[in-house]
């Protein structure tokens, strides 16, 4: 199959370089353009990232000589691009919004890792196993904005990736959930690079991450919502209380979750069965970056652990464990996901594969 040519906006940053790492050898997509800030524009890609390449592979040989394009030079967008991944960082969220809108207006679909458009009503916020039907808002977005081929789709916050798929699997099986208390233990890589100063996080837990608790509590309502006539209609039936902390772990966000069901309460054995048998659209479509088992349950009393379990199934699975009855709610459990793979570039890559399979990217 002839590969689809794609671009990366913010290709010299930590998420942009993660995209480059994950796209190596991809069966569908080929990098044809790298764009970044004016500081990097005009340099070769190797020159632009030589001091900030932190991946565990060398800079790919075929990209070293690429000339970095100014991300805001819209007239120089290569005509062969079918879509772009957006990992741009700018001082203000409104600036990111505007840049992504301009790419969409130019006919370039944008799959964004940024939060700028997460609450734009006609922009889908996709987790492939939960709301693949939200891609159906794209024709409405295009009609609303007069776009031809362009559109914007986003991924949710990395803190959600650990716990929301197991919750959705239970709801899909008919066990509606009323309340959640979520405490996250988030890796330092979630703060980018250089991220949290070592003297702040070594031998320590930082009990506050700006904006993270609000995202953890509110974004599920859009993801679990329905496609309406003009946008996504949020589902606010689950009350969520979140505490988000930063811990001295390199990669892997862990969530401790207490859950209360609305009516029917499943047995522990039934919950584990639902999780281990759960599959969704990415698995049915056999998408290249879809985990074979979206939810993995470990019976070991001391698992999951970030160091041992974050890379399960290409780093794209949610690993759960320690399911037990709760003295206040019904059950509690631990869940883990790889924040820079499933929670960032890998999650967006899966969205791109879904959009390609559904005919929105050609």
Residue 152: HSE in the Cβ half-sphere, 13 Å Cα cutoff: 29
> Where does residue 216 fall: left (phi above 0), alpha (psi -120 to 50 degrees), or beta otherwise?
alpha
CB 70 within 8 A of CB 41: yes
Same domain, 38 and 177: no
| pLDDT average, residue stretch 318-332 | 98
% of the chain exceeding 70 in pLDDT: 100
Task: Tell me whether residue 26 is one of the annotated catalytic residues.
Answer: no
Threshold 0.85, pTM exceeds? yes
- The answer on 197 and 78 residing in a single domain is no
- Are 268 and 351 members of one domain? no
Answer whether the bond into residue 315 is a cis peptide, omega within 30°: no
Same domain, 65 and 130: yes
User: What is the span of the domain harbouring residue 97?
Assistant: 4-158+345-357
- What DSSP designation does 203 have? T
Same-domain pairing of 272 and 193? yes
The verdict on 61 and 120 lying in the same domain is: yes
> Number of folded domains in the chain?
2
- CA-closest candidate to residue 265, choices 146, 178, 182: 178
| pLDDT exceeds cutoff 90 at 1 | no
For range 37-59, the mean pLDDT: 93
Shared domain check, 182 and 305? yes
Verify that 124 and 185 share a domain, yes or no: no
- CA proximity to 165, closest of 266, 262, 291: 291
Residue tagged active-site, from 117, 134, 244, 253: 253
**pLDDT: is 192 or 69 the higher one?**
69
pLDDT in tens, 245-297: 999 999 999 999 999 999 999 999 999 999 999 999 999 999 999 999 999 99
B/e letters for 157-186, b = 16+ CB within 10 Å, e = fewer, are: bbbbbbbbbbbbbbbebebebebbbbbbbb
Q: Is residue 244 located within the same domain as residue 198?
A: yes
Q: Give 17-30 pLDDT, tens digit per residue.
A: 999 999 999 999 99
- Measured CA angle at 342 (ends 135, 45), to 5 deg: 95
- Say whether both 167 and 188 belong to one domain: yes
Q: What CATH number does residue 167 fall under?
A: 3.30.360.10
My answer on whether 140 and 218 are in the same domain is no
Distances (CA, A) of 10 to 14, 15, 88: 9, 8, 4
> Which is catalytic among the residues 117, 158, 293, 338?
158
**Residues in a beta bridge with 6:** 31, 83
Q: Is residue 362 included in any domain, yes or no?
A: no
For residue 88, being part of any structural domain is answered with: yes
Q: Is 253 a catalytic residue?
A: yes
């Amino acid at each position: 199959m002839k590969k689809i040519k794609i671009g990366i906006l913010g290709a010299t940053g930590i998420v942009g370089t993660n995209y480059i790492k994950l796209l190596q050898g991809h069966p569908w997509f080929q990098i044809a353009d790298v764009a970044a800030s004016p500081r990097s524009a005009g340099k070769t890609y190797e020159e632009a990232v030589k001091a900030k390449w932190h991946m565990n592979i060398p800079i790919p040989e075929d990209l070293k000589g690429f000339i970095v394009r100014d991300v805001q030079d819209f007239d120089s967008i290569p005509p062969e691009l079918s879509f772009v991944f957006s990992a741009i960082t700018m001082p203000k969220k409104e600036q990111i919004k505007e840049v992504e809108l301009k790419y969409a207006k130019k006919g370039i679909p944008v799959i964004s890792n940024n939060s700028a458009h997460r609450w734009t009503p006609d922009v889908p916020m996709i987790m492939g196993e939960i709301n693949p039907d939200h891609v159906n808002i794209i024709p409405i977005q295009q009609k609303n904005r007069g776009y031809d081929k362009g559109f914007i789709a986003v991924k949710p916050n990395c803190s959600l990736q650990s716990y929301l798929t197991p919750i959705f699997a239970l709801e899909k099986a008919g066990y509606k959930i009323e309340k959640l208390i979520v405490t996250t233990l988030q890796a330092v890589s979630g703060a980018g690079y250089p991220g949290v100063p070592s003297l702040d996080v070594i031998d320590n837990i930082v009990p506050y991450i700006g904006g993270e608790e609000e995202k953890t509590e509110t974004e599920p309502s859009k993801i679990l919502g329905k496609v309406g006539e003009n946008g996504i209609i949020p589902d606010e039936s689950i009350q969520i209380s979140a505490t988000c902390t930063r811990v001295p772990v390199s990669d892997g966000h862990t969530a401790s979750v207490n859950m209360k069901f609305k009516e029917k309460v499943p047995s522990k054995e039934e919950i584990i069965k639902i999780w281990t048998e759960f599959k969704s659209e990415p698995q049915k479509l056999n998408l290249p970056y879809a985990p074979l088992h979206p939810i993995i349950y470990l019976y070991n009393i001391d698992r999951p652990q970030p160091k041992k379990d974050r890379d399960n199934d290409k780093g794209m699975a949610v690993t759960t464990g320690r399911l037990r009855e709760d003295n206040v709610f019904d059950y509690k459990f631990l869940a883990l996901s790889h924040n820079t793979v499933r929670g960032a570039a890998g999650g967006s890559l899966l969205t791109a594969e879904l959009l390609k399979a559904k005919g929105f990217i050609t």
